[in-house]
Amino acid sequence: MGEFGYTVDKLFWVGSFLLLIVSVVYKLDISSRVALTVWVVGNLFMDLIQPFVMAVSTNNAMLGSSFWYVTWAAIEILCVWCIYKVHVVHDLPASKLTRYIMVCLLALCTMQLIRYADRLIFETDLLYVMYKYVIVAINISVVPFTALWFAKEIVAIRKGAFL
């Protein structure tokens, strides 16, 4: 899968960005829009800093791998915290999409920490393949889930227009 998986992952990320734009135009569920916005901004930020994180990870043998896993886990936890904080401050009930995105972010964070332990603490490297595919699969899964949410919301809006 390798490079193909990461290319597909980027395309699906663009898809989630486009769905976010359309959801703003249609003024859909605010909870879902908040979560999707944090997801898109978080992924954009990770894409922007990825070359720097990769450079530090490859150039510094002692700090490198730790920096890689901890950086991504920290960003994912920060994204979950941002979604949670906006919902608490504005007293928003969490939608299904919001809960799904938060679970995905927590799963990504968990994968980073488990892979860190596997590679650097236990030095077993047993989870390499799982890490490689699960990260991409989680990222890709957000787009179809978002598309289903979007379709459901549009149908609800159309039904409301006919009543």
How far out from the chain centre does Cα 142 lie? Answer: 7
Does 86 score more than 90 pLDDT? yes
pLDDT of res. 3: 64
Is-contact 76 106, C-beta < 8 A?
A: yes
Q: What is the pTM of this model?
A: 0.88
Rounded to an integer, what distance in angstroms lies between the CA atom of residue 63 and that of residue 71?
A: 12
Residue-wise pLDDT for 98-118, tens only, equals 999 999 999 999 999 999 999
